[in-house]
Amino acid sequence: MKADGARDLLSLLRKAPGPLSGADLARRFGITRAAVHKRIEKLRAAGHRVTGTQRLGYRLRAGADGFDAVALHGFAGPLLHRSVAPSTQDEVKDRAARGAPEGLIVVADRQRAGRGRRGRLWSSPAGGLWYSILLRPATAPAHAPSLALVAALDWAEVLRERGVPAGVKWPNDVWADGKKVAGILTEMALEPDRVQWMVLGIGVNVNNRAPAVPGAVAGSVRDWTGPTARGELLSAWLARFARSYARHGRGGFAPFQRAYNARAVLNGRRVTGVGPDGPVRGRALGVDAAGRLRLSAGGRTVAVLGGDVSLLRPDR
């Protein structure tokens, strides 16, 4: 949805306590009623549930999870809600390559081909929160990946505010009581000195039955909170992440290091990962100012560069 007035109309409908007539909208925007109708049709084509009657006028109908009422907190949007999508990540990547603005969000009730890191299948049944957001960070390519850690930290804080004992599991998961409740996939298009675009794909088990997860036990937010409106959770995360995104743009990951380590579920645990010289086992010491996981291994401190990190059993 281009910035041609449809977004302003959407904002007005969101704030309106009741229906707004076509004549009233035409007066407010200084356009014809036919032009109002065209903007309404653009909103509908973007997935917004705008209803209208000749007697009462137009109003925005929020779905059961309130996605139409999600506040974007400074992100340009739009937020596109799909009942079913092959992959929100693929749709946002395709739109990014065609010049879509930063802040585009695609959320789906269900995905047919959701995926996680390393191309793994990500089960995305009804009841979960599956979405991708387009970013165009003005930061060096080396600093951009740590935004995934920031996004995970913000999700942990949103869930903790609702009574879920959530923490962050490096590099891209949110856990609660040893169960994985959310995961993040990061994909980027890079030039030597800048990030063309970055897409964060995020999946949160909310009201769905937690699917099987290789190498981990999964949980759903409802296990701690009961049924929860997904739109309300997304709005709360966007509010946090908007502030964090701006802060990361000014100072990279360093301002988040202490908070991340305070929520890190691996600290003090024996894990295996990949260091500069290959696979390494050691005890997790937390992340450094660049967001790298530090391990104590064989009397030295090793920085894990990326990839998967697995917990080791006590006897290993």
CATH of the domain at 283: 2.30.30
**Statement to judge: residues 45 and 79 lie in one domain:** no
| pLDDT on residue 169 | 96
Please report, for residues 1, 42, 77, 79, 287, the alpha-carbon distance to residue 7 in angstroms, rounded to integers and kept in the order given: 7, 10, 9, 11, 40
Name the strand (E) or helix (H) holding 186.
strand 179-191
- Domain ranges, residue 71: 67-263
Is residue 281 a contact partner of residue 272, using CB atoms and an 8 Å limit? yes
Final residue of a domain: which of 60, 89, 104? Answer: 60
Residue 76 inside a domain? The answer is yes
Burial degree of 140 (CB within 10 A; 0-12, 13-18, 19+)? exposed
SS3 275: strand
The residues, any chain, with a CB within 8 Å of residue 212's CB and separated by 6 or more, are: 123, 218
**Statement to judge: residues 222 and 74 lie in one domain:** yes
pLDDT in tens, 242-261: 999 999 999 999 999 999 99
CATH of the domain at 51: 1.10.10.10
pLDDT in tens, 120-173: 566 788 899 999 999 999 999 999 999 999 999 999 999 999 999 999 999 999
pLDDT in tens, 259-313: 999 999 999 999 988 877 788 899 999 999 999 999 999 889 998 877 678 887 6
CATH of the domain at 221: 3.30.930.10
Peptide bond connecting 145 to the previous residue in cis, omega within 30 degrees of 0? no
Please report, for residues 1, 79, 113, 187, the alpha-carbon distance to residue 119 in angstroms, rounded to integers and kept in the order given: 30, 25, 10, 11
C-alpha count within 13 angstroms, C-beta hemisphere, residue 225:
24
Final residue of a domain: which of 26, 41, 60? Answer: 60
Task: Extract the tokens encoding 151.
Answer: 């996004």
Number of domains the chain contains: 3
C-alpha count within 13 angstroms, C-beta hemisphere, residue 45:
10
Alpha carbon distance, N-terminus to C-terminus of the chain: 54
Residue 1 inside a domain? The answer is no
Residue 286 inside a domain? The answer is yes
